[in-house]
Structure 1
Amino acid sequence: MPEENNATPATPVPVERRRWPRVSQEPLGKDEKTAASLVALRFETESLSPPEQFPAWRGHMSPLVEARLPDNVAPDDGFPVRQAVWNLGGMLLLQQTVPAFSYERSPDMVRFSPLDHWLITFLRTGRSWTGIDGRVAENEPGMMEIRSLGSPFRGRALASESLTLVVPDDQFADRGGLPPASSNTVLGGRRVKLLYDHMVGLETNLSGLSQDDLPGIKSRLLEMILDTVAPFLDRDDSERVSQIGLMTRARRLIRKNLISSDLTPEALSRELAISRTRLYELFEPVGGVAKYIRQHRLLAAHRMLTDPSDRRTIAEVGLAIGYDSAANFSRAFTQQFGYSPSNIRTHRKSSDAQFDARVENSAVTFEGLLQTLGVHT
């Protein structure tokens, strides 16, 4: 009897039939040549001796807050910190690991500091408590904390790892500003998670980004922050809404007329249809309207001096923002930024020689980045 054949018949090999030859298409952007990648400004204390660590950290953070050790910690115990600061062209992204400490931004710091930036913080580990006017905001992993450097605050934090955006208040001006009750607020929920996940994805790719990528990244982040915050903060009382709306209008007028010699506190109060006393009360938390105008004029001068296409002399730049004397302009500029106008011109030998985190040299400091934040936008 013939042996039964149980072998499975071979599957025919499919043959592709086409009338035209295949033309392979390479993925777009696969071999894209980009400009110089971003470089972080890094700070750490682990290379210092334990007694030197906390004083170094306290000095590093002094433009933002006055830092203090917890009561049960001695300076000799050490204070190991790691921080990376990425300049995103108008905002900063801070990656930070730090032991427990307390902090305060006093009314005097607010008055004499040019910084009115927003801090938007996500904790990966740890916990913090921050108080403003008797209201305490508690931040923890999974939440988002919003705080303004334009208002005094104090608080404490446990040992933590965090991701923070530092955004100038004026970055939100064209979008109507952040809602009045944003400062010292902690938010949670789906929108917060979406924003955090977006930032983590951005964080993963930071070293591969270039300056050309930053405008789109910054615009997207601003929109996402506003989309995250706005739905939660519609409960503001009418008086605070009126105040923030007035401040937003005032800032827009100042930005629009920054170089005009007609921009004075008197002209501003007329345009806003408020008394000079009301105008001064509005700007009192940031040191007064005249100081605010002066600081933003100096920021405009900084932008002119770092623009390779701007061929005006230092004296002409000073004159453009209202300084009749080059010496007075240089003195005010140096007091504001910590370096002179001539220092900028010395470093402006190429279009890449700007005071930002692309250049790892002694001219780049955390304080310098904070003060010029928003100049290169």
Structure 2
Amino acid sequence: MTPRRTSATIARSAAEHCLIQVYLDGGCTGTAGERAFAMRIGDVGVLDLAQPLAVETTAFSALTLVIPRAGLILPFKAPEFLHGLVLPAASAIGTLLNDHVRSLHAQLPGLSIKAAAAVAGGAIGVIAAGIGSALDACAPIDEPQGALLDRIKNFIDRKLDAADLGTDLICDAFGLSRSTLYRLFEPLGGVAKHVRDRRLARALHDLAASQPDRPRIADIAYHWGFGSEAAFSRAFRAAYGMTPGEARDTAERMRQSAPKDVGAAERVLERWMRSLTPGNLPS
């Protein structure tokens, strides 16, 4: 079996979440972006649904948590190394998180929805703290610069719809020189690329909105800082492998083909998944 998430798949799903997986039986090998990884029984793996993924696996059994990417990435100084991270079962952190995920799985059926929501919030904190030390070992940026990079990225996310968002605004807000800002964002492909990618991700969510709430493609383009619908379409296609119109049509087809009557558990899961967006995370 070879599950894959290509740029086109990412565009159709509009997911901004991570998977935390614990293999109970079997295992897998694959590539997360350009990073090769392997997971065995007891290992804890982290996969970013907004990045390309190819996995080779046979029969397996695993526990999987779906967590907002912002809830895992923002505390860390090297978030670009999250995708494909594996904590071995033999490591102290791997053992701790393995036990924690298994305990959640065992106890959740007995919890009320309210209690489960509270436990889920605590679980994100435990997992984030646990994998933070592993990410530290991957970081090419020292601690002060990493903390600054996180603050700038948060600032950018808050200002994505601002017409004047750019190098000058960021440098003024943080008292930085252009050279320092460029150096900070070099591992991410540059400031302009990061801003464009984040705007495209927000635009993707707008395109997937259901009627009659969804705006016109041109309005989405201008709202997220693109000078024209044509420029937006070129950037979107380069990022996701399809045009904005194709992404919208795909989302609509998926919505129409969804079951019209799902059970209570599925409805609860759907509401929970909708709540797992960066905007709904506690600040």
TM-score where L is the length of structure 2 = 0.60
Mapped partners of 1:194, 1:276: distance in 2: 46
Shift of 1:184: 7.1
Report what 2:71 is aligned to. Answer: 171
- CA 1:254–1:162: 2 relative to 1, 3 Å: farther
Partner residue of 1:91 out of 11, 14, 18: 18
What amino acid is aligned across from residue 297 of structure 1 in structure 2? R
Give the distance between the partners of 1:349 and 1:236, measured in 2 at CA: 40
Aligned residue for 1:296, secondary structure, equals helix
In structure 2, distance between residues paired with 1:199 and 1:61: 27
Match of 2:238 in 1: 335
Q: CA deviation at 1:329?
A: 1.3
**Per-residue displacement from partner, 1:299-318 (whole Å, max 9, x unpaired)?**
11111122225342110110
CA contact (8 A) 2:19 2:67 kept: yes
Contiguous gaps of at least 5 residues in structure 2: 8-12, 50-55, 110-114, 259-275
SS at match of 1:353: helix
Match of 1:277 in 2: 179
Which runs of 5 or more structure 1 residues have no equivalent in the other structure?
1-43, 45-56, 64-85, 110-118, 125-140, 150-156, 206-212, 357-372
RMSD: 5.2
Corresponding residue SS for 1:92: strand
**Structure 2 residue matching 1:262: 3-state secondary structure:** coil
Structure 1 pair 307–218 and aligned structure 2 pair: CA distance change class (3 A): farther
CA contact (8 A) 2:207 2:248 kept: yes
What are the Cα deviations for residues 287-336 of structure 1, in whole angstroms up to 9, with x where unaligned?
11110100000111111122225342110110111223212212211221
CA-to-aligned-CA distance 1:320-367 (integer Å, 9 cap, x gap): 1122321221221122122222124334558x72999xxxxxxxxxxx
2:92 paired residue among 182, 188, 192: 188
* CA pair 194-306 structure 1, distance change in 2 beyond 3 A: same
Whether contact under 8 Å (1:147, 1:184) holds in the other structure is no
Structure 1 residue identity aligned to 2:186: E
Partner of 2:4: 60
Structure 2 residue 50 is the aligned partner of structure 1 residue 123: no
Shift of 1:193: 3.7
Give the one of 150, 169, 173 matched to 1:248.
150
Aligned residues: percent identity?
22
Measured in 1, the distance between the counterparts of 2:152 and 2:158 equals 10
Shift of 1:98: 7.2
Amino acid at match of 2:232: F
Please report how far the alpha carbon of residue 99 of structure 1 lies from its aligned counterpart in structure 2 after TM superposition: 7.6
Q: Classify 1:104/1:313 alpha carbon distance in 2 versus 1 (closer, same or farther; 3 Å).
A: closer
Partner Cα separation in structure 1 for residue 134 and residue 22 of structure 2: 26
C-alpha change, 1:105 and 1:93, in structure 2 (3 Å) is: closer
Q: CA deviation at 1:265?
A: 1.9
Shift, 1:158, TM fit: 11
Q: TM-score with structure 1 length normalisation?
A: 0.47
CA distance in 1, matches of 2:243, 2:257: 13
Summarize the Cα distance change of 1:284–1:60 in structure 2 as closer, same or farther, 3 Å threshold. Answer: same
SS at match of 2:40: strand
- Tell me which of 212, 215, 233 is aligned to 1:312: 215
Letter aligned with residue 192 of structure 2: A
Higher helix share: 2
Contact preservation (8 Å) 1:347, 1:354: no
Paired position in structure 2 for 1:33: none
What code does the residue aligned with 1:123 have? R
Cα 1:376–1:339 shift into 2, 3 Å: farther
Assess, with a 3 A threshold, how the Cα gap between structure 1 residues 244 and 178 changes in structure 2: closer, same or farther.
closer
Task: Name the CA distance, whole Å, in 2 between partners of 1:225 and 1:122.
Answer: 18
Q: Deviations over 1:26-71 (max 9, x none)?
A: xxxxxxxxxxxxxxxxxx2xxxxxxxxxxxx4x93777xxxxxxxx
Structure-to-structure mapping, 1:99-178, within 5 angstroms = 106=34, 123-124=40-41, 141=42, 144=44, 163=62, 170-172=70-72, 176-177=75-76
